[in-house]
Structure 1
């Protein structure tokens, strides 16, 4: 059952961190900074609550959505691979076969050692969602990183503004000082970590790459340079189209983690050669 995915320490840790950051931000820093009964305080609390709720929704979608498995009857179309050389066709068939699953796999699919199966357009196995990030839940994962980054940065800004107006007079209560400083360092550090992760995946989306394909591409580019050739990621069909393939053609739905009607079967993907 899907609910069993939540019975894991990393999932519990994420819920714990999200709850802690929310409670500290709203009921300690905003309350102490503006007061929750003031207009400014209630407005900031409402904005942060919306961001936290969207982060939680995206997280749940990531955990519960199957990233996509290879169809049982899948067979690579070797005859239409664009190469008439029998040796080359045999090589294509070899590359499309997963020895661990003892079955063929589509382009961009990779075997996950944790899930023990091949995952369509696999990016990586994420410990924190207890699930693979793949074809069907990559958008939800990316949207989660966006909301979590914005929420943690918003919290960091509130802490900084609170610190500027706060008179640090705790009447010798050292534990309280340590608590405030620890919370600030933790949330600012979380913002930097999530911001770095967001930047990385923005780059991947604009290049229409997965994390696995990025590292595979580095080796392919090195081999191409050795032979005096140029390497281009075969699924890079242009910046805007790359983005729409992941987030969808409707810009208004880009930040909705459940708006995935544009996602196809995950077996065939447009290539740079086809877009010429």
Structure 2
């Protein structure tokens, strides 16, 4: 029976992920962004709901028809040597080198952004800070970035006070007006 295909962990996990993405998108992102009571919010939610319904329908058709099964009457020809898998060039090395280069690049960018968040800076402020530190050293003074409060306070200022939402930050309601930010002079 085709309904027994639904009683598997991969099917349940796909439905769970689809439901989770739908809930987060409609009831958290769109609700916080424009609100579901507005015309733009209801239009966005209807469009996304339609796309999710089409995705679920496509998935259900794939599960019910099961197009990926090999026919039982299929028997490969063992004497046919026109296709030999050992004669193909190995692509593992090229793929591995590309993944290594991509990992190094993305790891460098991740490290750079973690550094900027822990020092509560943007890229422009970082380069301005280099120039300000050089000018301060030239005049015999010491320089410290005024918005660099401490590592934990910098992270909570950027990502919010709720540590459970750090991996998926949704709103910046903890910033109040978004114009004034705590400085080093305020905390001392």
Indicate the residue corresponding to 2:111 in structure 1: 199
In the alignment, the residues of structure 1 paired with residue 175 and residue 100 of structure 2 have an alpha-carbon distance, to the nearest angstrom, of 35
Indicate the residue corresponding to 1:214 in structure 2: 126
Aligned residues: 114
Identify the match of residue 188 of structure 1 among 100, 108, 131.
100
Give the superposition deviation at 1:259.
Answer: 4.2
Indicate the residue corresponding to 1:123 in structure 2: none
Indicate the residue corresponding to 1:171 in structure 2: 86
CA separation of 1:227 and 1:189: change in aligned 2, threshold 3 A? same
Indicate the residue corresponding to 2:150 in structure 1: 238
In the alignment, the residues of structure 1 paired with residue 171 and residue 103 of structure 2 have an alpha-carbon distance, to the nearest angstrom, of 26
Give the superposition deviation at 1:273.
Answer: 0.4
Question: Could you report, residue by residue, the CA deviation over 1:101-137 in whole angstroms, capped at 9, with x for unpaired residues?
Answer: xxxxxxxxxxxxxxxxxxxxxxxxxxxxxxxxxxxxx
Kindly indicate whether structure 1 or structure 2 has the higher relative contact order, using CA contacts under 8 Å at least 6 residues apart.
1
Give the superposition deviation at 1:260.
Answer: 3.0
- Hey, which of these two has a bigger chunk of helix by percent? 2
Listed as ranges, the matches of 1:128-167 within 5 Å are none
Q: What secondary structure sits across from 2:86 in the alignment?
A: coil
In the alignment, the residues of structure 1 paired with residue 136 and residue 149 of structure 2 have an alpha-carbon distance, to the nearest angstrom, of 20
1:272 aligns with 2:184: yes
> How large is the Cα RMSD of the aligned pairs?
2.8
Q: What secondary structure sits across from 1:262 in the alignment?
A: helix
Identify the match of residue 250 of structure 1 among 162, 174, 181.
162
Q: Which has the larger radius of gyration?
A: 2
Structure 2: segments with no counterpart, 5+ residues: 1-8, 34-83
In the alignment, the residues of structure 1 paired with residue 85 and residue 175 of structure 2 have an alpha-carbon distance, to the nearest angstrom, of 55
Give the superposition deviation at 1:263.
Answer: 3.3
In the alignment, the residues of structure 2 paired with residue 255 and residue 224 of structure 1 have an alpha-carbon distance, to the nearest angstrom, of 37
Structure 1: segments with no counterpart, 5+ residues: 1-38, 66-168
In the alignment, the residues of structure 2 paired with residue 195 and residue 268 of structure 1 have an alpha-carbon distance, to the nearest angstrom, of 32
Listed as ranges, the matches of 1:29-44 within 5 Å are none
Indicate the residue corresponding to 1:77 in structure 2: none
Indicate the residue corresponding to 2:135 in structure 1: 223
Q: Structure 2 length normalisation: TM-score?
A: 0.53
In the alignment, the residues of structure 2 paired with residue 261 and residue 184 of structure 1 have an alpha-carbon distance, to the nearest angstrom, of 43
Alignment check: 8 A CA contact 1:253 1:259 kept = no
